Amino acid sequence: MDWTEKYRPTTLAEVRGNDKARTALKEWAQGWDSHRKAAIVHGSPGVGKTSAVHALANDFGWNTIELNASDQRTASVIERVAGEAAKSGTLTQTGAAERRLIILDEADNIHGNADRGGSRALTRLVKEASQPMVLIANEFYDMSNSLRNACEAIEFRDVRMRSIVPVLRDLCRKEGVEYEEDALEKIAEANKGDLRGAVNDLQALAESTDRLTADKIITGERDRSTGIFDYLDDVIKKLGAEEALKQSYDVDETPDDLINWIEDNMPKDFVGEELADAYDHLGKADIWLGRVRKTQNYSYWRYAGDNMTAGVAASRNGTKGGWTRYGPPSYWSKLGRSKSTRNKRDYIAQKIAESSGVSMGTARRDILPYLAGMTYHCKNRDLTVAVAARYDLDADHLSFLTGSGKDTNKVQGIVEDADELKEKAAVEHSGGAFEGAHRTSMEGDDEADESETSDDEEEAEPEEETESGDSQSGLGDFM
């Protein structure tokens, strides 16, 4: 039997390491009735996140319902399985509602629209749940901002070596394994904070030898990360194609980041034909990464990795010597400088997405550019007022969309008119700010003709004008 399961902690007191995280988890559970927030327990694999959550449930006498986000990712499944469990409780014989802990493992593996609304459904669920929920994740920042903001975050850090060794010693005594203290220390050191990995290594070694000695421990076997600068030096200057690919598996960078590292630093050593050939491979890698982003099919990462590592190494003419000053991708610093711009763009895209029922990507890529062209420098003033009202844009966001200065009288006037239009639309329940914008220009004529127009004509005339207004502005495409 797997020792990690056989000796899984049954109470929080038995969980080794992460004292602060265990205390925070216990306090979250004790205060749940007052704050009603879900918790995100996050940290590296093997540090005891899942064990701690199950131990917590035992301590509080809560039943558990567990769902794995990697297998059950769609909105319908999340709402059906986790949703029903999280929104109701079974009544006991005493009439009190039974408390249940909903555990969603691998919650960072839900990726928005590719999972058919799974991320949005999960965010909605944690806000509405009437039962405590814990989301378990390895990568906290792979989860959406809205989901992270809706939960209390509790971080489990890598378990220190001094906490791992006593666990291994205790397991040896329970299993009757003879050992040298140095052997246990070498196992703990090789696993670098991964308690589960250390226990697995101990079990594998104990089953293959009568006595655990230090000379039987292969150090570095589980050192899973290679420094990015060391790897750049190897892939750009030394390694062959196959070796470059295999060593990339130990680099603690995602393919999206690794391609930026290689692209920025490769020209410091590659020239001429080898540089052109390497760029060709990076271009193919970028195409595969684009397919990953579009389809959320992460199996395509392997093809991207083949091109950006083996392909680049194969492009090199021989080996290269000397020392090169490598640095982080310039793309990252550009992203930092453009953060304010991206925030404005994403605010407008979010408003479009909410109003039109489309994804953020569609709003950003397919709708926002057309709105920017149609309202360029506020030349179509009525349309710009309607857009500002519809999407609740202030002067800063309107300036970004139209390209006009936010402090100009033109932009300030449009924002003021948009505010009036929103108030009028709310009072009249006209069904939308755009409809109000189209009617503004017709009010004078309507009043003059009121006595001479029949009821049927009054109903038909605004409808014709509205259609004409939509046709002229092109807004009908977005409603």
Q: How would DSSP label each residue in 376-398?
A: GGG-SHHHHHHHHHHTT--HHHH
**Helix pair 381-390, 433-440: axis angle to 10 deg:** 150
- Taking only the tens of pLDDT, the chain with its 479 residues reads 679 888 989 999 999 889 999 999 999 999 999 999 999 999 888 899 999 999 999 999 999 888 765 444 455 556 555 555 555 554 333 333 578 898 888 887 765 443 445 677 788 888 888 889 999 998 887 788 888 899 999 999 888 888 899 999 999 999 999 999 999 998 888 887 889 888 988 888 887 777 888 877 754 444 444 567 888 888 999 889 998 998 888 777 778 888 988 998 899 999 999 999 999 999 999 999 888 888 878 788 889 999 999 999 999 998 888 878 777 776 555 555 556 777 788 889 889 988 888 888 788 878 888 888 889 888 899 999 999 999 999 988 998 888 888 778 889 999 999 988 888 877 665 444 444 444 444 444 444 444 444 444 444 343 333 333 333 333 433 33
Number of H helices, E strands in the chain: 27, 7
Residues 205 and 245: their CA atoms lie apart, in Å, by: 29
What pLDDT score does 338 carry? 59
Is residue 43 classed as helix, strand or coil in its secondary structure? strand
What pLDDT score does 438 carry? 47
Q: Which domains does the chain have, with CATH numbers?
A: 3-156 (3.40.50.300), 161-216 (1.10.8.60), 235-335 (no CATH), 343-478 (no CATH)
23, two tokens: 């205390």
Token pair 């809706």 is found at 150
101, two tokens: 């802990």
DSSP, res 365 = I
**Burial of 258 per CB tally in 10 Å (0-12, 13-18, 19+):** buried
The stretches of 88-217 forming alpha helices (DSSP H) are: 118-128, 145-149, 161-175, 181-191, 195-206
Q: How close are the terminal C-alpha atoms of the chain, in Å?
A: 60
What pLDDT score does 78 carry? 60
Sign of CA pseudo-dihedral 91, 92, 96, 99: negative
DSSP, res 11 = S
473, two tokens: 């502005």
Phi and psi at 136, nearest 5°, equal -110, 130
Cβ contacts of 390 within 8 Å, gap of 6 or more: 355, 432, 433, 434
Phi and psi at 111, nearest 5°, equal -125, 60
The CA angle 446-375-362, to the nearest 5 degrees, is 110
What pLDDT score does 114 carry? 39
The CA angle 50-55-60, to the nearest 5 degrees, is 130
Residues 194 and 192: their CA atoms lie apart, in Å, by: 6
Residues 463 and 466: their CA atoms lie apart, in Å, by: 5
Residues 122 and 129: their CA atoms lie apart, in Å, by: 10
Token pair 């959406």 is found at 144
Residues 202 and 172: their CA atoms lie apart, in Å, by: 9
Cβ contacts of 468 within 8 Å, gap of 6 or more: none
What pLDDT score does 334 carry? 52
